[in-house]
Structure 1
């Protein structure tokens, strides 16, 4: 299972900390790539959209899931998050299954 934590650095940059419990490895993501806008949350917009895409893709590896569920994931989760949010890969998978029923 992975644990995802959103926080804001002192300079205001939004960062996602990813803790992989299976490998005990921690990584950090700031944006999709250097040329894309930074991640963000707490509203609807491109930053939250990129967070949702990243999380759904990281958990499932399935572009079809990303395309199908990004908007709903933003609306139900990312747009409502404050700094310090936490979600797990298991919670995201459970949410995806609940959306398919």
Structure 2
């Protein structure tokens, strides 16, 4: 997933692109092929030439479509770029979601699934961060405070599987279309395995344990579905 981050410093505005663990500078040169508003560099936080250049750069980086970027960069600048503060972060799924809302493109099924996946994946991350902090501090009674965010995440995961399972099953195995789904399925499987470890913690009040056991049953059922999907 592409993530674009910006920060303002005493040496100027720094805009970075991170993809698959590698971080580089967002290309000003590429964006100048789309529009030429600010050859001196990017800006954001107001309506002007620098923010317009950044807007075009982001849209072109995400879509690789000069015509689309040229058509919508001013609207994107007004709606998004001009509103940002000293720092910003935006990922490709958020950009695609914005483009969809303004009718710039019809987001396909996989792109929609990625947007929904990111929502509940962040809930898992939040839960595991709580878990690690409590465990590291020796606060055993607080470990299960990580469960509520996972309850929401599991519910969303279940909805996601029910919604997209038919689409995955219709695909031929080991084709490029099928492989588009695999990173999400693998990550869900990983998160659910981690959650099972969290649920193995047994030094807590009984009501919390009962809640944890109930969630564990749901997780195991979801794991069966995910394993099945992985074999499709």
TM-score, normalising length: structure 2: 0.39
**Structure-2 residue corresponding to 1:14:** 13
Aligned-residue offset at 1:10:
2.6
The answer to whether 1:50 aligns with 2:53 is: yes
* Alignment RMSD (CA, Å): 1.7
Distance 2:82 2:45 in 1: 4
Deviations along 1:45-101, one digit per CA (max 9) or x if unpaired, are 110000000000000000111121111100001111112111101100111111117
* Alignment of 1:76 onto 2:75: no
Count of aligned residue pairs for this structure pair: 96
SS in 2 for 1:18: strand
Among 1, 16, 22, which residue is 1:25 paired with?
Answer: 22
| Normalised TM-score (structure 1) | 0.86
Q: Which runs of 5 or more residues in structure 1 are unaligned?
A: none
The residue matched to 1:14 in structure 2 has which SS?
Answer: strand
Q: For 2:53 and 2:93, how far apart are their aligned partners in 1?
A: 20
Q: Between Structure 1 and Structure 2, which shows a larger proportion of helix residues?
A: 2
Deviation, 1:18, is 1.1
Gaps in structure 2 of 5+ consecutive residues: 30-37, 105-232
